[in-house]
């Protein structure tokens, strides 16, 4: 979308659009409102690099991740950046803080820099973000999830299927009293709710869930187990939204003298590098973040070489890793 397109939608001249966006004090309130509404409808973002590059290519890829407070996304980002760098592209990282609204604000800033492509974490976005990305006309990959309404390309796995597999696996091992400790980000909630739904299908009606604020920390896990025990729950196994939360569960259990897995079994998610080296070693779910990063880079680079190629949807799958804590 261009400034001229916005002017046509607003029913004003291009110079009025420019002034409304850059010098709003010199246009009338009614004209400004028309322009802002046209900007919203069209998804227009001012080009900060106008005329700067003859090729109209920035060689820049924007990568949005929820947090760098822990390492669960690090392997994907490192692999993604390595492959993009090898192909001659530079990367910039934006932190969304698990917030679709923060993602929208970042998009407003980043799209003006005219990146050649954008990688998003997950499939939960505001309506305005979707509109802007569709209007931008650049490759977009939603990573770490698979959704029913992709913006463009997707490379990830089904969090619902992860939850179902965890529930079936632990039920098959003989566990019957379950609890869930999860942070409140959208993907963690998908997994946690899927665990509960699958357990209900297996005949286990009551599955207490402790919900904590993102991002996940070891303290989150400790607090989650404290709440469960304080509320009178005595689960045989706690399913955690991440390995970080699971480490907190293990720490709190150790402080209370609970035997793992005899008195309390623990299941994590993410298979962090530390998971296999904890004592006892943590059972978890491996999602191969490095491969996800490589496939995301490949999808972007293929589209950048040939903008006529069809959007890809790649299921990277997952693997249950059964260690000592279960």
CA–CA distance, 261 with 108 (Å, rounded to integer): 48
Neighbouring C-alpha atoms within 13 Å toward the C-beta of 8: 7
| pLDDT of 55 | 54
pLDDT at 47: 66
DSSP one-letter code for 23: -
- d(Cα 135, Cα 6) in Å, to the nearest integer? 12
Q: Is the distance from CB of 224 to CB of 250 less than 8 angstroms?
A: no
CA dihedral over 217, 222, 223, 228, signed as positive or negative:
positive
Classified as helix, coil or strand, 93 is: strand
Q: At what angle do helices 74-86 and 289-305 cross, to 10 degrees?
A: 30
Cα 290-291-297 angle, rounded to 5 deg: 95
pLDDT of residue 50: 56
Instruction: State in words which class domain 159-286 has.
Output: alpha beta
If 0-12 CB within 10 Å is exposed, 13-18 middle and 19+ buried, where does residue 222 land? buried
Q: What angle do CA 189, 226, 168 make, to 5 degrees?
A: 45
Strand partners, 141: 119, 153
Q: What is the DSSP letter of 25?
A: G
Cβ proximity of 224 and 246 under 8 Å? no
Question: What is the distance between the alpha carbons of residues 229 and 222, in angstroms, rounded to a whole number?
Answer: 11
Give the contacts of 56 (CB within 8 A, at least 6 positions apart).
Answer: 114
Class for domain 60-157+289-316, per CATH? alpha beta
Domain extents for the chain?
A: 3-42, 60-157+289-316, 159-286
C-alpha closest to that of 125 among 95, 93, 101, 105 = 101
Q: 30 with 95: CB under 8 angstroms?
A: no
Residues in CB range of 242: below 8 A, 6 or more apart: 70, 72, 183, 188, 216, 268, 269, 270
CA 67, 69, 72, 73 dihedral sign is positive
CB atoms near residue 293 (< 10 Å): 27
Q: Mind giving me the DSSP string for 152-205?
A: SEEEE--HHHHHHHHHHHHHHTT---EEEEEESSHHHHHHHHHHHHHHHHTT--
DSSP at 144: S
Provide the pLDDT for residue 48. Answer: 54
Averages of pLDDT over runs of 10 residues in the chain (326 residues) are 91 92 86 92 74 64 89 91 92 94 93 92 95 92 95 97 98 98 94 98 96 93 97 97 97 97 97 94 96 96 90 96 98
Tell me, what's the pLDDT at 52?
A: 44
Q: What is the pTM of this model?
A: 0.82
Q: Decide if 60-157+289-316 and 159-286 have a common fold.
A: yes
């Amino acid at each position: 979308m261009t400034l001229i397109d916005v002017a046509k939608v607003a029913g004003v001249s291009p110079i009025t659009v420019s002034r409304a966006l850059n010098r709003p004090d010199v246009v009338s309130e009614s004209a400004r409102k028309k322009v802002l509404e046209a900007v919203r409808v069209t998804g227009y973002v001012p080009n900060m690099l106008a005329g700067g590059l003859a090729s109209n290519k920035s060689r820049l890829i924007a990568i949005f991740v929820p947090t760098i407070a822990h390492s669960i996304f690090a392997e994907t980002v490192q692999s993604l950046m390595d492959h993009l760098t090898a192909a001659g592209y530079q990367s910039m990282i934006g932190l969304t803080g698990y917030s679709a609204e923060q993602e929208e604000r970042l998009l407003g800033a980043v799209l003006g820099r005219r990146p050649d492509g954008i990688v998003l974490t997950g499939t939960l976005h505001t309506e305005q973000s979707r509109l802007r990305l569709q209007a931008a006309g650049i490759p977009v990959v939603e990573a770490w999830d698979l959704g029913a309404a992709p913006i463009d390309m997707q490379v990830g796995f089904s969090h619902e299927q992860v939850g179902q597999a965890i529930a079936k696996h632990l039920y098959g091992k003989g566990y019957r009293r379950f609890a869930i400790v999860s942070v409140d980000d959208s993907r963690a909630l998908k997994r946690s709710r899927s665990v509960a739904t699958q357990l209900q299908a297996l005949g286990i009606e009551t599955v207490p869930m402790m919900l904590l604020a993102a991002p996940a920390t070891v303290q989150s896990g400790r607090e989650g187990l404290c709440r469960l025990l304080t509320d009178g729950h005595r689960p045989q196994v706690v399913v955690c939204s991440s390995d970080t939360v699971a480490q907190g569960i293990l720490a709190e259990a150790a402080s209370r003298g609970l035997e793992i897995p005899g008195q309390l079994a623990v299941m994590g998610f993410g298979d962090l590098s530390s998971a296999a080296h904890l004592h006892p070693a943590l059972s978890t779910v491996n999602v191969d973040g490095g491969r996800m990063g490589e496939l995301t880079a490949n999808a972007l680079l293929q589209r950048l070489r040939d903008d006529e190629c069809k959007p890809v949807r790649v299921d990277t799958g997952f693997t249950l890793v059964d260690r000592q804590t279960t």
